[in-house]
């Protein structure tokens, strides 16, 4: 899981608002992280608010599969994810109408009742062995609660958002704790990059 956050653990000034945190050097490092994965996953809130392409800028033989968890089927073909870049786009939804919108050769729509665990099972059956979860807040919390985060990569910038800004891990129950061991930390551009490994009891 990759998270870009403020000093007080916020990822956006408010829900649904795109907030730039990391600079060009840090973004280039994120690109390196993405290039080493077989798939990149975001939720619909991130897809709608940030309108990302989820592409790897460097030349790679097999671009990571871009995965969107869009239960309600809100993603539109005006999204930059729909633009033809060669990288596969997989959407998990409960809205069958998405199958009529996303029909390109590199696009696959999975319709049905799904959970984080069933999504992982679909990816495993497809031979996907590494997945980078990039948010948003609710998706990040769901993967943590499901015990599916092996490594946590945090890019922290020297800013405080405060107030009702969107936390990195929303909707987590009070009192929940998840232990990680720090593997490394370094300054890259305007961010402190820290890599943590999950502690397995």
CATH of residue 63? 3.40.430.10
How many structural domains compose the chain? 1
- Six-digit token string for 177: 């704790």
Q: Measure the CA–CA gap between 119 and 63, rounded to whole angstroms.
A: 20
Q: Measure the CA–CA gap between 57 and 138, rounded to whole angstroms.
A: 27
Residues 6+ away with beta carbon under 8 Å from 174: none
Per-residue pLDDT of the chain (201 residues; tens, 9 = 90+): 999 999 999 998 887 778 889 999 999 999 999 999 999 999 998 999 889 999 998 888 889 999 999 999 999 999 999 977 789 999 999 999 999 999 999 999 999 999 999 999 999 999 999 999 998 888 998 999 899 999 999 999 999 998 889 888 877 766 778 899 999 999 999 999 999 999 987
- Six-digit token string for 42: 């975001």
pLDDT tens sequence across 18-58: 888 999 999 999 999 999 999 999 999 899 988 999 999 88
Helices (H), the chain: 24-35, 44-50, 98-101, 116-125, 137-145
Gyration radius of the chain's alpha carbons: 16
Q: Measure the CA–CA gap between 116 and 69, rounded to whole angstroms.
A: 9
Please check whether residue 10 is in contact with residue 4, taking contact to mean a CB–CB distance below 8 angstroms.
no
What's the domain range around 45? 2-198
Burial track 31-42 (b if 16+ CB lie within 10 A, e otherwise): eebbeebbbbbb
Q: Are strands 166-167 and 10-12 parallel, antiparallel or unpaired?
A: antiparallel
Closest listed residue to residue 75, CA positions, set 43, 118, 122: 43
Helix (H) or strand (E) holding 43: strand 39-43
DSSP character at residue 141: H
């Amino acid at each position: 899981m990759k998270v870009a956050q403020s000093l007080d653990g916020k990822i956006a000034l408010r829900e649904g608002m795109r907030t730039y945190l990391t600079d060009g050097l840090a973004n280039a490092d994120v690109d390196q992280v993405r290039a080493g994965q077989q798939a990149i996953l975001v939720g619909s809130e991130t897809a709608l608010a940030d309108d990302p392409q989820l592409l790897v800028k460097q030349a790679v033989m097999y671009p990571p599969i871009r995965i969107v968890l869009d239960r309600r089927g809100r993603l539109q073909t005006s999204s930059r994810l729909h633009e033809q870049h060669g990288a596969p786009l997989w959407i998990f939804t409960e809205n069958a109408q998405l199958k009529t919108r996303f029909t390109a050769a590199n696009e696959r729509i999975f319709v049905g009742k799904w959970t984080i665990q069933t999504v992982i099972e679909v990816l495993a059956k497809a031979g996907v062995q590494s997945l980078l979860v990039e948010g948003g807040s609710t998706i990040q919390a769901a993967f943590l609660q499901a015990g599916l985060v092996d490594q946590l990569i945090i890019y922290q910038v020297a800013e405080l958002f405060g107030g009702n800004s969107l936390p990195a891990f929303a909707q987590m129950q009070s009192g929940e704790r998840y232990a990680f061991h720090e593997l490394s930390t370094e300054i890259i551009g305007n961010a402190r990059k820290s890599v943590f490994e999950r502690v397995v009891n």
